[in-house]
Amino acid sequence: MTQDRLNYGTPKDYGPPPASYPPGYPQGTMDAASERTWSILAHLSIFLNLVSGGVLGPVAALVIWLIHRDRSAQVTFHALQSLWYQLAWLVIVSVGWTVAGVLTAVLIGFLLLPVMLVLTLAPFAHAAFAAYKVSQGTDYCYLQIFDRAKERV
């Protein structure tokens, strides 16, 4: 297994923060409770997709990122992670339902419908678990999304 797979669900250790932050780096002007609350809300924004059909969740994560990107590295990280995660699942689920719909019309695609139902609900459970871990004080990391979000913080 690669080191990335071993770190799934746990933050990588990047060592202590630098003595002086580079220009543009969030300076941490928020208290810990507010950081945790906004990080949890970023992860839970995926549930807005149940109401909007996949539009409001990524927009809410983007708004949280835009508001807090200069205030908190932790909130910035979690909002970006949530945004990338939601966009990735939106593409995966859209392609999956399209393929299942075409195959249902053509042949025996009805067998894919239960699989797609599970795949549609899986990101909600995963994001709820991520929000729970963040509420416990752990920086939860989605597989593959972590590195992309960490590059942007």
Q: What angle do helix axes 32-44 and 56-68 make, rounded to 10 degrees?
A: 160
17 occurs within a structural domain: no
Q: Three-state DSSP class for 24?
A: coil
In total, how many domains does the chain have? Answer: 1
60 occurs within a structural domain: yes
54 occurs within a structural domain: yes
Q: Three-state DSSP class for 70?
A: coil
Q: Please, what's the largest Cα pairwise distance for the chain? A: 63
3 occurs within a structural domain: no
75 occurs within a structural domain: yes
- Per-residue pLDDT of the chain (153 residues), as tens digits, is 455 555 555 555 544 444 444 455 555 567 888 889 999 999 999 999 888 877 898 999 999 999 998 888 889 989 999 999 999 989 988 898 888 888 877 777 677 788 888 888 888 998 999 999 999 988 788 776 655 555 555
Residue whose structure tokens are 């929000």? 131
Q: What range does the domain containing 47 cover?
A: 30-152
107 occurs within a structural domain: yes
58 occurs within a structural domain: yes
Burial of residue 75 (CB within 10 Å: 0-12, 13-18, 19+) is buried
* pTM summary value: 0.69
139 occurs within a structural domain: yes
